């Protein structure tokens, strides 16, 4: 069974010869210490080429201004022009491999929502030939994942910021729904455009993690995630495609929601303390319905020994692969510590070799 066949069967929750093994590829920028790890992963794991499916929207008119802030960060101000008035946000951009940090968000008040909703729904157009080139490039080594961006709820949470989203979900719930409805329409327009051009197979979103416990309970998860994700996933399923969601956090209380919306593969199923569900619990809840992609905690790749990672991987396989289906072994996130590529190389190799050596 080649890597492409194995991933396809995982996405369909069908039996496979061994678990798939995959690694997210968001390495620190301009960090050559990860070059050896990148090459090893490229040669020894199932691959997913990520292809931007939201790149064909007519862009909104936005201007950016940058100013110095500190030795580690610069401040970036974004101005979004709408028919009803301008909206602004600010964030700190890391200068030394550090992640960016939001300072203020585009939407702060109900009046800001009305400005944002005055924007026309973007048109969708453009050349999609790069998808077919990517599919040819990966060949039997894997699949092309069509990323549709943040899901509607997560997109809106990022417009408002998590705190303001939580507050307005109590005080102005109607406008949260209006924003989610608009973004769902945009994503479905993107998906239809791609499907009409024979781009099909594997689609994904992220962003659901903004509306999970403990900040939001199951009701909000159903109201703002399930309600607006399910029509998108149904559209993909009706065309014969499969759907992947990336969602950190404490998801045990909302796992049924992921089942109800129809997700096929869910990443990363985090155990305590980062999440609240261990692999054996997750498997009992999603068996035959959702493929588990996870769940070796990314910090362990830097803090644990290769032997510890080997044992963690063996336990994950015992707990989540007893039926020989529904498991893609994967760290919970991309490698992330700048300058530490060689510090985690042997740990990654231990995880990958354990999967490759599996005999069922």
* Neighbour count for residue 273 (Cβ, 10 Å): 8
User: In this predicted structure, what is the pLDDT of residue 30?
Assistant: 87
Q: What band does 185 get if pLDDT is binned at 50, 70 and 90?
A: very high
Indicate if 228 and 144 belong to the same structural domain. yes
Same domain, 264 and 212: yes
Number of structural domains found in the chain? 2
**113 occurs within a structural domain:** no
Residue found by looking up tokens 């997560």 in the block:
154
Position 281 scores a pLDDT of: 97
Give the Cα separation of 75 and 101 in Å (integer): 10
Compute the Cα dihedral for 143, 148, 154, 155 and give only its sign.
positive
Mean pLDDT value across residues 205-223: 96
Res 4 pLDDT > 70: yes
Q: Is 71 a domain residue? A: yes
SS3 at position 62:
strand
Q: Higher confidence at residue 99 or residue 287?
A: 287
End-to-end Cα distance, the chain: 14
- Taking a C-beta distance cutoff of 8 angstroms, is the pair 352, 41 a contact? yes
Question: What average pLDDT score do residues 46-59 get?
Answer: 97
**Residue reference for tokens 């495609």:** 241
Task: Evaluate if residue 99 carries a pLDDT over 80.
Answer: no
Alpha carbons 358 and 317: distance in angstroms, whole number: 9
Confidence at residue 29, expressed as pLDDT on a 0 to 100 scale: 83
pLDDT, tens digit, for every residue of 80-98? 999 999 999 999 998 876 7
DSSP label at residue 18: S
pLDDT band at 208 (very low <50, low <70, confident <90, very high): very high
Q: Angle 41-262-217 (CA atoms, 0-180°, nearest 5)?
A: 95
Residue 237, phi then psi, degrees to nearest 5 = -65, -40
At residue 127's C-alpha, the angle toward residues 122 and 130, to 5°, is: 120
What CATH number should be reported for the domain holding residue 328?
A: 3.20.20.210
In a domain, 277, yes or no: yes
Q: Mark whether 43 and 84 lie in a shared domain.
A: no
pLDDT in tens, 319-355: 999 999 999 999 999 999 989 999 999 999 999 999 9
Distance CA 40, CA 345 (A): 9
In a domain, 217, yes or no: yes
Domain hosting 135: range is 3-58+122-356
Strands 265-267 and 291-296 turn out to be parallel
Is the Cβ–Cβ distance between 215 and 206 less than 8 Å?
no
pLDDT over 90, % of the chain: 95
Model confidence at 107: pLDDT above 80: yes
Exposed / middle / buried, residue 120 (Cβ in 10 Å: 0-12, 13-18, 19+): exposed
With 0-12 / 13-18 / 19 or more C-beta atoms within 10 angstroms meaning exposed / middle / buried, residue 69 is middle
Structural domain contains residue 297: yes
Residue 230 has pLDDT above 80, yes or no: yes
Specify if 196 maps to a domain. yes
Structure tokens at 288: 């035959």
- How many whole angstroms from its chain centre is CA 190? 17
pLDDT at 250 over 70: yes
273 and 139: one domain?
yes
Q: Are residues 299 and 174 in the same domain?
A: yes
* Position 100 pLDDT exceeds 90: no
- Judge if 88 and 229 occupy the same domain: no
Quick one: pLDDT at residue 182? 98
How is residue 176 written in tokens? 């949260």
pTM: 0.95
> Do 87 and 221 share a structural domain?
no
55: pLDDT strictly greater than 80: yes
pLDDT 10s digits, 144-183: 999 999 999 999 999 999 999 999 999 999 999 999 999 9
pLDDT, tens only, 315-324: 999 999 999 9
Task: Give which of 160, 145, 149 is closest to 46, Cα–Cα.
Answer: 145
Instruction: Say if residue 81 is in the same domain as residue 23.
Output: no
Q: What tokens were used for 116?
A: 């944002």
> Domain check: are 212 and 181 in the same one?
yes
Do 69 and 54 fall into the same domain?
no
For residue 17, the model assigns a pLDDT of 97
Same domain flag for 54 and 66:
no
Is residue 71's pLDDT more than 80? yes
Domain contains 115: no
Give percent of the chain above pLDDT 70: 100
Quote the CA–CA distance of 331 and 18 in Å, as a whole number: 17
* Whether the predicted pLDDT of 78 surpasses 70: yes
* Alpha-carbon span 89 to 116, nearest angstrom: 13
> How high is the mean pLDDT of the chain?
96
pLDDT at residue 97 in the model: 67
Contact predicate 255/285, CB 8 Å: yes
Same domain, yes or no: 323 and 288: yes
Q: Is residue 20 part of a domain?
A: yes
R_g of the chain computed on alpha carbons? 21
């Amino acid at each position: 069974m080649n890597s492409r066949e194995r991933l396809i069967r995982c996405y369909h929750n069908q039996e496979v010869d061994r678990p798939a093994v995959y690694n997210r590829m968001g390495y620190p920028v301009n960090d050559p210490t990860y070059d050896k790890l990148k090459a090893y992963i490229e040669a020894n794991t199932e691959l997913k080429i990520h292809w931007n499916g939201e790149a064909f929207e007519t862009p909104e008119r936005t201007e950016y201004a940058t100013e110095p802030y500190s030795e580690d960060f610069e401040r970036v101000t974004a101005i979004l022009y709408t028919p009803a008035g301008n909206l602004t946000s600010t964030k700190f951009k890391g200068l030394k491999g550090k992640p960016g940090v939001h300072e203020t968000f585009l939407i702060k008040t109900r009046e800001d929502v009305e400005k944002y909703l005055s924007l026309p729904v973007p048109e969708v157009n453009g050349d999609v030939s790069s998808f077919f080139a990517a599919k040819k490039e990966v060949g039997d080594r894997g699949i092309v994942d069509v990323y549709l961006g943040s899901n509607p709820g997560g997109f809106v949470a990022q417009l408002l910021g998590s705190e303001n989203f939580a507050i307005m979900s109590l005080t102005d719930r109607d406008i949260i729904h209006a924003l989610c409805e608009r973004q769902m329409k945009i994503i479905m327009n993107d998906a239809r455009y791609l499907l009409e051009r024979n781009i099909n197979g594997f689609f994904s979103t992220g962003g659901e993690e903004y509306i999970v416990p403990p900040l939001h309970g199951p009701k909000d998860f159903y109201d703002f995630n399930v309600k607006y994700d399910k029509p998108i996933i149904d559209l993909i399923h009706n065309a014969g495609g499969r759907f992947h969601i990336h969602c950190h956090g404490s998801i045990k209380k909302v796992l049924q929601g992921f089942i109800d919306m129809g997700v096929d593969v869910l990443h990363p199923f985090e155990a305590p303390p980062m999440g609240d569900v261990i692999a054996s619990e997750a498997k009992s809840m999603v068996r035959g319905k959702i493929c588990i992609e996870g769940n070796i905690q990314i910090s362990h790749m830097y803090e644990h020994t290769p032997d510890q990672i080997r044992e963690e991987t063996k336990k994950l396989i015992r707990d989540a692969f007893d039926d020989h289906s529904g498991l893609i072994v994967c760290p919970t996130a991309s490698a992330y510590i700048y300058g530490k590529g060689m510090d985690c190389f042997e740990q990654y190799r231990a995880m990958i070799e354990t999967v490759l050596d599996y005999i069922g």
